[in-house]
Amino acid sequence: MFKLSKEHSIYSMSPNNEPVLYVPPNAQIEFETCDCFENQIKSSNDSFGGLDWSRINPATGPVYINGAEPGDILSVRIDKIEVAESGVMVAGKEMGPLGHLMDAHTIKIIPIKNNTAIFSDKIRLPLNKMIGVIGVAPKDSDIACGVPDYHGGNMDCKEITEGAVLHLPVNVPGGLLALGDLHAVMADGEICICGVEVAGKVTVSIDIIKNTPLPSPMLFTNSHIMTIASHEDLDEAVNIALLHMANYLKDKYGLPMDEAVMLMSLAAQVRICQVVDPKKTIRVEFPKDLLSYSQQT
């Protein structure tokens, strides 16, 4: 297994980033990651104003996958997510849709024990460990790690978790995979701008699917096929994810478009990943068991 330490990090996904690791097409890689504040926050008394905002959302990488060429899909199976013993949250003024309700900033340290996050003496939450930032280099421009787009990035999708397989479009030779911004707990929406932000380690297994263009990321879980799309406008993100799913069902399973659309209206869940990043992220979830039925009949 290949290993990459957290010192190898980037703040934007770019075709010009120098790879820090070259791996064969079927590699397994362990990424060590900082939290989204690059581990700057050590206690709830730390000064919010003292944070260096140029060091937000680091992603560990980028990794050059030998044989990955533009027009291929980079398939990334999330084998394992390990998180540190405590995470951090911030809330406050101008942060997210409820930011106007607060006139200062608060930092909260959240201990993690026995697969639960200890929010307070009385409130504990089960972990839903996930990867906030994961992506490849865009085709011809830099995109900050805090921004989600067709290349992946800061999608903050809680389904990007252990066991899921993420498909990303390869835009430059080698793909240049990077990831970070783990969350120990997060709900759809991520409304205060963060989840339980936490450092950790992620193990992934890579595969390349040759010559299969992909307009935006897809995710495959045990139960669902998902299309993921990001846009400044939430409605537009919904439209992109829906169109991608409709075309996928038509092309992959041979459903006539009108049937695909009707079936999606019955069975495809349109869900919000997050509404707080520079672009908002939507996912459309289609249940796999319906597709095995369509194929048999």
Q: Which residue, 41 or 242, has its beta carbon nearer to Ca ion?
A: 41
CB of 10 to Zn ion, least distance (A): 16
CB of 193 to Zn ion, least distance (A): 8
Q: Could you say whether residue 181 binds Ca ion (CB under 5 A)?
A: yes
Q: Could you say whether residue 156 binds Ca ion (CB under 5 A)?
A: yes
Residues 205-244 that bind Ca ion (CB under 5 A): none
Interface residue with Ca ion among 58, 61, 62, 132 (CB under 5 A) is: 132
What number of chain residues touch Ca ion (CB under 5 A)? 4
Given the rule CB under 5 A, which residues bind Zn ion? 36, 132, 181, 197
If we measure between CA atoms, which residue out of 230, 68, 72, 69 comes closest to residue 144? Answer: 230
Q: What is the C-alpha separation between 166 and 11, in angstroms, rounded?
A: 21
Q: What tokens appear for 170 in the block?
A: 């390869």
Residue with token string 């048999």: 296
CB of 291 to Ca ion, least distance (A): 31
Q: Could you say whether residue 154 binds Ca ion (CB under 5 A)?
A: yes
Q: Which residue, 191 or 290, has its beta carbon nearer to Ca ion?
A: 191
CB of 88 to Ca ion, least distance (A): 13
Radius of gyration of the chain (CA): 19
DSSP per-residue codes, 93-124: TTSSTTGGG-SSEEEEEEEEETTEEE-SSS-E
Residue with token string 């796999």: 288
Q: Is the dihedral of CA 155, 161, 166, 168 positive or negative?
A: positive
Would you tell me how many other CB atoms lie within 10 Å of the CB of residue 267?
13
Q: Which residue, 186 or 238, has its beta carbon nearer to Zn ion?
A: 186
Given Zn ion, Ca ion, none, residue 190, with its beta carbon under 5 to 8 Å by kind, binds none
CB of 36 to Ca ion, least distance (A): 6
Helix (H, G, I), strand (E, B) or coil at 3: strand
CB of 158 to Ca ion, least distance (A): 11
Q: Which residue, 155 or 204, has its beta carbon nearer to Ca ion?
A: 155
Given Ca ion, Zn ion, none, residue 154, with its beta carbon under 5 to 8 Å by kind, binds Ca ion
Q: Is 215 exposed, middle or buried (0-12, 13-18, 19+ CB in 10 A)?
A: middle
Q: What is the C-alpha separation between 162 and 159, in angstroms, rounded?
A: 9
Q: Which residue, 29 or 273, has its beta carbon nearer to Ca ion?
A: 273
Q: Shortest Cβ contact with Ca ion: which residue?
A: 132
Q: What is the C-alpha separation between 75 and 125, in angstroms, rounded?
A: 31
Given Zn ion, Ca ion, none, residue 38, with its beta carbon under 5 to 8 Å by kind, binds none
Would you tell me how many other CB atoms lie within 10 Å of the CB of residue 288?
14
CB of 183 to Zn ion, least distance (A): 5
Q: What is the C-alpha separation between 246 and 284, in angstroms, rounded?
A: 10
Question: What number of helices (H) and strands (E) belong to the chain?
Answer: 3, 23
Q: Which residue, 32 or 156, has its beta carbon nearer to Ca ion?
A: 156
Q: By CB under 5 A, name the binding residues for Ca ion.
A: 132, 154, 156, 181
